[in-house]
Structure 1
Amino acid sequence: MHQVPPTFWVDGAAIRKRRMQKGMSTSDLARVTGASVSYINKIELGSRDQMGPQLYVALRTALQATDDDLLTHEDPHERK
């Protein structure tokens, strides 16, 4: 059985790029995902790099993106 991870390591720059390609403002993305504008800004600027499953799925859906488009694929705190 596939288990959903408790958090997703996201690439803020990729999220920002995808949002802009879709012609969405941070307010638009916040509204459709249920997040605050402040939270979206923190994710995009990299001051937050983890996201819970429910919000991540909403973000991925809103941006019509795949995991490969939005995830970092490694814990950035383990980088040397």
Structure 2
Amino acid sequence: MEATPTTVKVNGAEIRKLRIHAGQSTSELATVARLSERYVNHLENGYRTRMRPHSYSRLRQALGLPADSTQLLHPTEGPQETR
């Protein structure tokens, strides 16, 4: 049985690109994903690079990505990496 990762490393530039493409402001994305606007801003700007799986799932859903999408993950790490 494979353990659920404690955090996933995300690609802030990709989050920003998808948010802009969806026509959402940082505030709108944060509201839909049930995250703080500051947290989303920190992810996009690279101040934060890791998220807990439940927050990552909400962000992915808010951006309209399918459950099996790895598009938001940092390119140097796979979906199951932990730190």
Q: TM-score, normalised by structure 1?
A: 0.84
> Distance between the aligned counterparts of 2:4 and 2:20, measured in 1?
28
1:60 partner amino acid: R
The answer to whether 1:28 aligns with 2:28 is: yes
> Distance between the aligned counterparts of 2:43 and 2:18, measured in 1?
13
Which residue pairs with 1:74 in the alignment? Answer: 76
Which residue pairs with 2:16 in the alignment? Answer: 16
Task: List alignment gaps of at least 5 residues for structure 2.
Answer: 78-83
> Distance between the aligned counterparts of 2:9 and 2:39, measured in 1?
15
- Structure richer in helix, relative to its length: 1
> Distance between the aligned counterparts of 2:50 and 2:38, measured in 1?
15
TM-superposed deviation, 1:2: 4.1
> What percent identity do the matched residue pairs reach?
43
**Conserved 8 A contact 2:29-2:62:** yes
Aligned residues: 74
Q: TM-score, normalised by structure 2?
A: 0.81
TM alignment of 1:46-61, pairs within 5 A:
46-61=46-61
